[in-house]
Amino acid sequence: MNFDLTEEHIAVRDAARDFANTELLPGVIERDQKQQFPAEQIKKMGALGFMGMMTDPKYNGGGMDTVSYVLAMEEISKIDASASVCMSVNNSLVCWGLEKYGTEEQKQKYLTSLSTGEKIGAFCLSEPEAGSDATSQRTTAEDKGDHYILNGTKNWITNGNSASVYLVIAQTNPEKGHKGINALIVEKDTPGFVVGKKEDKLGIRGSDTHSIMFTDVKVPKENRIGEDGFGFKFAMSTLNGGRIGIAAQALGIASGAYELALKYSKERKAFGVEIAKHQAIQFKLADMATKIEAARLLCMQAALLKDQKKDFGKYSAMAKLYASQTAMEVTVEAVQVHGGYGYVKEYHVERLMRDAKITQIYEGTSEIQKIVISRELLK
């Protein structure tokens, strides 16, 4: 595989890096402390094309490849993982899912505004008793002929209060198991739609995470994605691509922490010399850099396979598994390199350490990734 970046790739990466440093870095610590959603920054990301990067230009998207998306996700995540998860959900789960599986009418009605960031999307799969076990959907969509009646609760929904368009996975025919599940497009202002409390999280505290409740919500039949019973397949296929985005997020968190640790090690002195000259610190930096490079190659491999329309599911799971593990290991070491300063908010690394943990949990835990990988290996 050729991992050389094109001029377009470099331009996208540099644009994302510049935006992250000029627009996201100022105020990122305060947003984390106040659990403040970066609404203005997300609007600017939409205007720059970061909210619909892979969407076809005929639907107002950027028409870029997945490699470009990985590069941008890494740069945004180095600075603000709360902004990057909003970007990831909108790109990987909502826009990509609608473009690949939606009808032309659905694309014209929803995708054209989602891809510009004018509207934000949310993906509603997890429930109080259906996280890793996505087949156990308790949310129901009762078929009423020309519409569905939606009832239930969804948990841990990214963009929960900020979104306008929600892709909701619900059970229509329980006797059919996962083949009785449907995916529905639900608008926020629909009667019976209620946004629950905002979750007080360990990390990505600027991200807008809520539970969503549906009470007799009427959803037109034309808002179903795909044929009757396609919902579970839709969710699994969409999550395969979503894992590339989260892997890139984890990669960005790790590389952001590493860059801070490297810079600090050249400035901080101990025993008369910069701590970077001590072998104990050098070995930490060497391990961090090696793991990051390996994670980056896994992300790029998954992205290239997706762009080549080849089977990428195993590789996206590998990328997410390894990159998220790397994010945790590297951020912990970055705090250690900073010593006492690493425990202080103004040095950023403690926030990156807190942000890293979620990458091992959402869009499929690390344990689920191992199940996905092992199933592919044993076919």
From-to residues of CATH 1.20.140.10 in the chain: 239-377
pLDDT of res. 5: 94
From CA 297, how far away is CA 287, in angstroms rounded? Answer: 16
From-to residues of CATH 2.40.110.10 in the chain: 121-232
Q: 7-114 belongs to which homologous superfamily?
A: Acyl-CoA dehydrogenase/oxidase, N-terminal domain (1.10.540.10)
pLDDT of res. 136: 87
Tens digits of pLDDT across the chain (379 residues): 777 899 999 999 999 999 999 999 999 999 999 999 999 999 999 999 999 999 999 999 999 999 999 999 999 999 999 999 999 999 999 999 999 999 999 999 999 999 999 999 999 999 988 887 888 899 999 999 999 999 999 999 999 999 999 999 999 999 999 999 999 999 999 999 999 999 999 999 999 999 999 999 999 999 999 999 999 999 999 999 999 999 999 999 999 999 999 999 999 999 999 999 999 999 999 999 999 999 999 999 999 999 999 999 999 999 999 999 999 999 999 999 999 999 999 999 999 999 999 999 999 999 999 999 999 999 8
CB count in 10 Å sphere of residue 232: 22
Token pair recorded at residue 260: 């801070």
The CATH number of the structural domain formed by 239-377 is 1.20.140.10
Q: Are 86 and 120 in contact (CB under 8 A)?
A: yes
- The CATH class of the 121-232 domain is mainly beta
Report the half-sphere exposure of 14 (CA within 13 A, side-chain side).
Answer: 7
Contacts of 257 (CB under 8 A, 6+ apart): 327, 330, 331, 334, 349, 352, 353, 356
What are the residue numbers of the active site? 363
Q: How far apart are the first and last CA of the chain?
A: 24
DSSP H/E element including 209: strand 209-220
From CA 94, how far away is CA 117, in angstroms rounded? Answer: 12
pLDDT of res. 258: 98
Instruction: Classify 48 in phi/psi space as left (phi over 0), alpha (psi -120 to 50) or beta.
Output: alpha
From CA 174, how far away is CA 187, in angstroms rounded? Answer: 25
| Strand positions, DSSP E, 100-208 | 121-124, 140-143, 147-158, 165-171, 181-187, 193-198
Backbone angles phi, psi at 53, to 5 degrees: -60, -40
Q: Are 301 and 281 in contact (CB under 8 A)?
A: no
- Closest C-alpha to 152, from 176, 131, 170: 170
- Closest C-alpha to 362, from 253, 246, 252: 246
DSSP H/E element including 131: none
From CA 81, how far away is CA 24, in angstroms rounded? Answer: 10
Q: Say which residue the tokens 């689920």 belong to.
A: 368
Fill in the amino acid letter for 150.
Answer: L
Token pair recorded at residue 164: 């306008």
Contacts of 132 (CB under 8 A, 6+ apart): 364, 365, 367, 368
Contacts of 246 (CB under 8 A, 6+ apart): 85, 88, 320, 324, 359, 362, 363
From-to residues of CATH 1.10.540.10 in the chain: 7-114
CA 165 distance to own-chain centroid:
17
Q: Say which residue the tokens 């969509």 belong to.
A: 141
Q: Which residues of 309-336 are buried (b: 16+ CB within 10 A; e: fewer)?
A: eeebbbbbbbbbbbbbbbbbbbbebbbe
DSSP characters for 5-64? PPHHHHHHHHHHHHHIIIIISTTHHHHHHHT---HHHHHHHHHTT-SSTTS-GGGT----
Q: Which residues pair with 182 in a beta bridge?
A: 170
Instruction: Measure the CA angle with vertex 280, ends 278 and 286; round to 5°.
Output: 100
Token pair recorded at residue 172: 């229509």
